């Protein structure tokens, strides 16, 4: 894991229902299992349980800063292949500041600057960018790069690689693209039942970084029944941020009549938080980009509202939601902490020694 020597991270203040309206800064990260209740409030009265950790992970923070730095150093337009992270607010804000989001590098003018998103790209995308003389900044999260390296290693050793992940998601496209001839995508239970390997003693499972931990283990159990010698990834592919956010929402879900997850519809890790909340006992759960998307009917008969957010969500959006809830009587906010995260990643190397702007 690539961790910068001097992790820049912010500790949040505690001014609004236990949390400051701090700007979307670096979300610290590290696993330190604790369950802390800030000020247990009486169930049966209107209250909000606020999950911690939530929001920005170290990889998202790095990617967003990389685009901001590119804008600052080189000026607009800066091209970004795909959404830098899967969050509508982040993408819209960067677009307003001069970023042009494209689907493919073929849409970027020859010689221009393009940033690769946090979800990673395949070697074919790097090659195409080189062919077109594009200047590139690779904002792939180091924890996604780690999975790419695992694919390469197992492919070199001639393993069949069963990559558990969601079909069509950019991350699995990039990861599988490292060694397409060795990788099979396993998304559904049906895929696991149908996977075919050449030598059952030489098969490994790897995964997308933003999956449901429980669902992934079900898929692994299913695969292991078919392939008893199935090898595990050398280290967890589902990253610390994904699993920490799921642990945090699980810790409070059973107490919640409603869980509101701030995150975008195309954000895998945010969608998983809604599912995990429901599986862990929340009576209802919804994914919203903005506070104004809350349907007031969801609040009918509700005492306890759980609030959390995906790894690509700036905390300012959560603060707006807390403000919106406070205006409607849910002003009592208790933070439920299950881990304190303290990781930050160094910026992409292309930005560590930037060329002066011409
Ligand atoms: O992978 P996911 O759809 O959850 O992406 P987000 O919402 O942008 O979150 C950041 C995760 C990431 C960049 C890859 O792990
Ligand atoms: Fe990296 Fe995990 Fe964040 Fe994805 S969710 S960007 S793998 S830290």
Cβ(212) to ligand 1 under 6 A?
A: no
Out of 53, 138, 141, 171, mutate this one to test ligand 1's pocket (max ligand atoms within 8 Å of CB): namely: 171
Q: In angstroms, rounded to a whole number, what is the distance separating the alpha carbons of residues 301 and 279?
A: 21
Place of tokens 């330190």: 32
At 57-101, the pLDDT tens digits run 999 999 999 999 999 999 999 999 999 999 999 999 999 999 999
Q: Report the pLDDT value the prediction gives residue 356, as an integer from 0 to 100.
A: 55
Q: Report the pLDDT value the prediction gives residue 22, as an integer from 0 to 100.
A: 30
Indicate which ligand has the atom closest to the C-alpha of 208: 1
Cβ(203) to ligand 2 under 6 A?
A: no
Q: Report the pLDDT value the prediction gives residue 25, as an integer from 0 to 100.
A: 26
Question: How many Cβ atoms are within 10 Å of 156's Cβ, its own excluded?
Answer: 10
Q: Report the pLDDT value the prediction gives residue 41, as an integer from 0 to 100.
A: 59
Residues in the chain: 358
CA of 145 to the centre of ligand 2 (A): 10
Among positive and negative, which fits the CA dihedral 61, 345, 260, 187? Answer: positive
User: Relative to the CA of 59, which ligand 2 atom is closest?
Assistant: 6
Cβ(113) to ligand 2 under 6 A?
A: no
Cβ(268) to ligand 1 under 6 A?
A: yes
User: Relative to the CA of 142, which ligand 2 atom is closest?
Assistant: 1
Q: Report the pLDDT value the prediction gives residue 292, as an integer from 0 to 100.
A: 98
Q: In angstroms, rounded to a whole number, what is the distance separating the alpha carbons of residues 63 and 233?
A: 25
Phi then psi for 238, rounded to 5 degrees? -65, 125
Q: Which residues contact 289 (CB under 8 A, 6 or more apart)?
A: 87, 88, 89, 262, 263, 264, 265, 317
Cβ(142) to ligand 2 under 6 A?
A: no
Q: Report the pLDDT value the prediction gives residue 240, as an integer from 0 to 100.
A: 98
At 116-151, the pLDDT tens digits run 999 999 999 999 999 999 999 999 999 999 999 999
Place of tokens 């020597």: 5
Mean pLDDT of 13-24: 25
What is the DSSP pairing of strand 183-186 with strand 135-138? unpaired
Q: Are 24 and 314 in contact (CB under 8 A)?
A: yes
Phi then psi for 147, rounded to 5 degrees? -70, -40
Catalytic positions are 171
Cβ(84) to ligand 2 under 6 A?
A: no
User: Relative to the CA of 141, which ligand 2 atom is closest?
Assistant: 1
Cβ(182) to ligand 1 under 6 A?
A: no
At 22-52, the pLDDT tens digits run 322 223 333 344 567 766 656 569 999 999 9
Residue nearest to atom 2 of ligand 2 (CA): 239
Q: Are 241 and 53 in contact (CB under 8 A)?
A: yes
pTM of the entire structure? 0.89
pLDDT over 70 at 5, yes or no: no
pLDDT over 80 at 3, yes or no: no
At 178-237, the pLDDT tens digits run 999 999 999 999 999 999 999 999 999 999 999 999 999 999 999 999 999 999 999 999
Place of tokens 């409603």: 258
User: Relative to the CA of 63, which ligand 2 atom is closest?
Assistant: 6
Q: Are 273 and 245 in contact (CB under 8 A)?
A: yes
């Amino acid at each position: 894991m690539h961790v910068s020597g001097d992790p820049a991270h912010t500790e949040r203040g505690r001014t609004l229902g236990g949390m400051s309206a701090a700007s979307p800064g670096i979300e610290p990260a590290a696993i330190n299992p604790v369950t802390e209740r800030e000020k247990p409030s009486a169930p049966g009265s209107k209250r909000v349980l606020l999950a911690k950790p939530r929001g920005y992970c170290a990889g998202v923070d790095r990617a967003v800063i990389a685009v901001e730095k590119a804008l600052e150093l080189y000026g607009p337009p800066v091209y970004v292949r795909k959404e830098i992270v899967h969050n509508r607010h982040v993408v819209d804000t960067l677009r307003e500041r001069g970023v042009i989001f494209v689907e493919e590098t073929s849409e970027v003018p020859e010689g221009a600057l393009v940033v690769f998103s946090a979800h990673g790209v395949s070697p074919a995308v790097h090659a195409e960018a080189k062919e077109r003389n594009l200047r590139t900044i690779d904002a792939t999260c180091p924890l996604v790069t780690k999975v790419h390296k695992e694919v390469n290693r197992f492919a070199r050793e001639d393993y069949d690689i069963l990559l558990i992940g969601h079909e069509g998601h950019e991350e699995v496209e990039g990861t599988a693209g490292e060694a397409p001839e060795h990788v099979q995508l396993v998304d559904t239970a049906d895929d696991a039942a149908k996977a075919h390997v050449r030598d059952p003693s030489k098969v490994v499972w790897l995964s997308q970084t933003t999956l449901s931990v429980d669902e992934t283990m079900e898929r692994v159990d299913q695969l292991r029944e078919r392939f008893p010698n199935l090898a595990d990834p050398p280290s967890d592919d589902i990253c610390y941020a994904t699993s920490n956010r799921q642990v945090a929402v699980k810790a409070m879900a059973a107490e919640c009549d409603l869980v509101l997850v701030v995150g975008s519809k195309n954000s895998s890790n945010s969608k998983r938080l809604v599912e995990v909340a429901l599986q862990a006992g929340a009576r209802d759960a919804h994914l919203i980009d903005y506070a104004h998307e809350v349907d007031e009917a969801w609040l009918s008969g509700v005492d306890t509202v759980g609030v959390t957010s995906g790894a690509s969500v700036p905390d300012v959006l959560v603060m707006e939601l807390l403000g919106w809830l406070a205006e409607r009587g849910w002003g009592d906010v208790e933070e439920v902490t299950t881990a304190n995260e303290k990781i930050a990643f160094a910026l992409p190397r292309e930005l560590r020694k930037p060329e002066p702007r011409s």
